[in-house]
Amino acid sequence: MVRMYLFIAALVAGVMIKHQHLKKTHSSKVLPDQIQHENGWHAQIHRLVTSYLLLRIGLMGGVELGQTETFDVLVSSLLAVGLAVGICLLTLALLATTRLDRDIRISLAVHFGSVSIGTFAAATAYLEAMNMHYSPTTSAWVALMELPAILLGVGLLNGGAQSLLRLFRQDKSMLLLPTALVIGLIMGPGLNQSPAFTLLFETAFDPMLLYFLYQMGRQTRTYANNLEASSRVLASLGIMMPLLGGTLGTAAGRLAGLGVGDAMLLGSLAASASYVAAPTAMRAALVALGSSPERAAQAASAGLTVALGVTLPFNLLVGLRFYLIEAQWFDSPQRAGVGLLVVLICLSALLLRQRLAALWSTMRHGDQSGRDGHTHAPRDPISVT
């Protein structure tokens, strides 16, 4: 349990300590480029640590996949991919009646449909701290759930194969995880038994994760401030989607026969939002399709603001424990079915509320326009109440 407290302390330290080099733009929004391409040794080390985590997760997942029954792997893999695509589409449905710009809605859906490697690493550390078993093959879910939502988002933006190729050229880290997965699968169990592997990917893991979470805390502070210049839609989405996705993932996992630890990890991934691959992918895809760099950065910044400003700290401080409790409570098909029913009822209520709110807004604005004799000026695409 001490390890988990250390991880939380690293995140909180990053949030609390001020860093003067992160400056806001004239529009009071910090764009992804200011974080991802920040000059100095902090950015270089952060990219190195991110690549390390992707490499470790992929290698260990590949090794374990080679020792698992093909049918079991196939079932859990299909479930993981289905969740990634489903959550992306659910997010789009929930945002359909808002007045957010279309590109921003798709960007948000892709961020929530993709996954967070930091959340997964913290979730596995939490289970280890609680002395709870989980299958190492769950590492493969991170690789499987990272890309489907991104590919779906590019498709929704009417992007083709050329956009995808440009996307992979601009962000080669997206290929690191599946490549490491294949290498681990080919090399087999002998890989993680070597002293060099143990030193690099076991002994060094905790210090690397501590530094990674500290950096995430720094970015969380910056992006949480952006919510003041944004809207209640983004703030509420950052908490609503983890709760819905986490419950959906844990319930579906238990119905599929997963153990408590594996179902909790699946729920944690379903509840997470990407802040590594998705922002870069959306920015690159939009630019490739003809959007201006400023517009593409704004769409990516909306997703990154929610992922780092709300969803990541919520999951690490509250969500992981909640998803574990859910996985333990869904100990029968009947209880897991209740969890899915709760998600369905909540989604239906939210969609109905948004439809009614949109209808009321249309009627009110139409009546006001008729009295004033003119239409209202369009609002900023991200300033939505």
228-263: pLDDT as tens digits: 555 677 888 999 999 999 999 999 999 999 999 999
pLDDT tens for residues 181-214?
A: 888 888 877 777 788 888 888 888 878 878 877 8
Give how far Cα 247 sits from Cα of 19, 72, 99, 146, 213, Å. 36, 22, 27, 19, 24
Indicate whether this model's pTM tops 0.75.
yes
- Taking the C-alpha atoms of residue 382 and residue 385, their distance in angstroms, rounded to an integer, is 9
Query: What pLDDT is attached to residue 4?
Result: 67
Among the CATH numbers 3.40.309.10, 3.40.50.10470, 3.40.50.510, 1.20.1530.20, which is that of 2-16+29-339? 1.20.1530.20
Q: What pLDDT, in 10s, does the model give residues 291-341?
A: 787 888 788 888 888 888 889 889 988 999 999 999 999 999 999 999 999
Distance of alpha carbon 115 from alpha carbon 145, whole angstroms = 6
Average pLDDT value over all residues in the chain: 79
Quick: pLDDT tens for 335-349: 999 999 999 999 888
Whole-number pLDDT of residue 31: 47
Residue identified by tokens 């080390």 is 45
133-167 per-position pLDDT tens digit: 998 778 888 878 888 898 898 888 876 566 666 66
pLDDT confidence of residue 323 = 97
Residue closest to 19 by CA, chosen among 163, 221, 210: 221
